[in-house]
């Protein structure tokens, strides 16, 4: 995902620079259609060429240049109109400053990454939207606010975090989807790749993968298994499909954990119901305290200490 975004960003940038250069060339071509300018230009170019050929400053180059400039001026044109002005004043379109990628390259990359992750559509909420104001209980509010801070720091560091799996459990209206969306948005803003999908979409994609030729499966699973962050929203609302739902969820969790990547799951289910719906192997991965954290947003104490 990130590699595709980088390549796209570089090619978009190149296209824009080429376009700016073409525009400058077109201005010169248009000016040369004016006979007076064309004659002055060709006389100037001839003198300059001879001067270079002879290796010395042939007399008349400066005069020819002046004549050319005054021909341009008569038509309201200056020589600098034909020069291509770099689009980025920081790197002069070289793409780097002091050996580091320029901000212009970085922001193009982030734009491409956002498109590739479809993050503005999939994850419409940011941390600014995560509002604890509606929580009346003071203890719970302070707990939830701590969780927001924790998840904000998490989005900054991922996937280099201790807890690769985060489960946000809570009933409707507890803000778990909003929080997961905010983490995903922030992560992409920081250049991390992200796949955000509902449990229903995940299930459907896994079914499509399962019923596709084996040769296509790796490609189909690629983004899901390699994104820095995968969010599966509303686990438990999808139908359980035999040989698909549980098997592919387990495969995804295992592969991603082995690769050191982060997965956030939001769900209405509590730990007991996760165990009864997805069985021991999935439950043990999500409840393994070495890699996973389980936050119950219904509770007053989220145990963030
Ligand atoms: Zn730049």
Q: What is the pLDDT of residues 35-76, one digit of tens each?
A: 999 999 999 998 888 888 877 666 788 889 999 999 999 999
What is residue 58's predicted lDDT score, i.e. its pLDDT? 67
* 254 belongs to a structural domain: yes
Last residue of one domain, picked from the residues 108, 136, 157: 108
CA distance 181 to 189: 12
Same domain, 54 and 137: no
Same domain, 271 and 292: yes
For the entire predicted model, the pTM comes to 0.82
* Structural domain harbouring 97: 2-108
Contact 236, 271 (CB under 8 A): no
Report CA(155)–ligand 1 centroid distance (Å).
Answer: 26
What is residue 11's predicted lDDT score, i.e. its pLDDT? 94
Report CA(117)–ligand 1 centroid distance (Å).
Answer: 24
Reported confidence tier of residue 303, pLDDT bands at 50, 70, 90: low
CA neighbor of 178 nearest in space, from 139, 227, 234: 234
The CATH number that applies at residue 271 is 3.40.50.300
CA distance 42 to 175: 71
CA distance 188 to 209: 26
Report CA(30)–ligand 1 centroid distance (Å).
Answer: 29
CA neighbor of 132 nearest in space, from 170, 86, 184: 170
Report CA(86)–ligand 1 centroid distance (Å).
Answer: 9
State which residues have CB under 5 angstroms from ligand 1, the bound ion: 88, 90-91, 102, 104
Domain count, the chain: 2
Same domain, 104 and 8: yes
DSSP state of 72: H
* 137 belongs to a structural domain: yes
Report CA(17)–ligand 1 centroid distance (Å).
Answer: 11
3-state secondary structure of 44: helix
CA distance 71 to 166: 71
Specify which residues 292 forms β-bridges with.
165
* 252 belongs to a structural domain: yes
Q: What is the mean pLDDT of the chain?
A: 90
Residues in the chain: 305
- Whose tokens are 């490609």? That residue is 219
Give the Å distances, CA to CA, from 183 to 123, 140, 206, 229. Answer: 9, 20, 24, 9
């Amino acid at each position: 995902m990130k590699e595709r975004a980088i390549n796209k960003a570089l090619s978009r940038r190149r296209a824009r620079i080429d376009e700016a250069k073409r525009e400058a060339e077109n201005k010169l071509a248009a000016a040369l259609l004016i006979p007076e300018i064309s004659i002055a230009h060709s006389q100037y170019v001839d003198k300059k060429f001879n001067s270079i050929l002879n290796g010395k400053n042939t007399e008349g180059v400066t005069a020819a240049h002046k004549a050319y400039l005054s021909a341009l001026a008569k038509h309201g044109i200056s020589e600098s109109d034909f020069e291509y002005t770099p689009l980025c004043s920081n790197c002069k379109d070289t793409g780097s400053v002091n050996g580091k990628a320029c901000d212009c390259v970085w922001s193009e990359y982030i734009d491409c990454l956002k498109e590739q992750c479809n993050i503005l559509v999939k994850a419409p909420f940011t941390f600014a939207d995560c509002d604890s104001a509606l929580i009346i209980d003071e203890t719970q509010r302070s707990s939830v606010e701590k969780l927001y801070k924790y998840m904000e720091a998490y989005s900054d560091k991922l996937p280099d975090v201790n807890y690769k799996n985060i489960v946000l459990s809570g009933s409707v209206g507890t803000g778990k989807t909003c929080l997961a969306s905010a983490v995903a948005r922030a992560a992409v803003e920081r250049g991390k790749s992200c796949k955000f999908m509902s449990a229903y979409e995940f299930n459907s994609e896994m079914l499509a993968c399962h019923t596709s030729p084996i040769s296509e499966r790796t490609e189909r699973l690629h983004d899901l298994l390699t994104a820095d962050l995968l969010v599966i929203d509303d686990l438990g609302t999808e139908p359980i499909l035999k040989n698909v739902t549980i098997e592919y969820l387990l495969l995804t969790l295992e592969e991603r954990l082995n690769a050191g990547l982060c997965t956030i799951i939001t769900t209405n289910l509590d730990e007991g119901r996760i165990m009864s719906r997805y069985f021991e192997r999935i439950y043990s991965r999500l409840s393994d305290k070495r890699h996973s954290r389980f936050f119950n947003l219904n509770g007053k104490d989220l145990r963030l200490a």
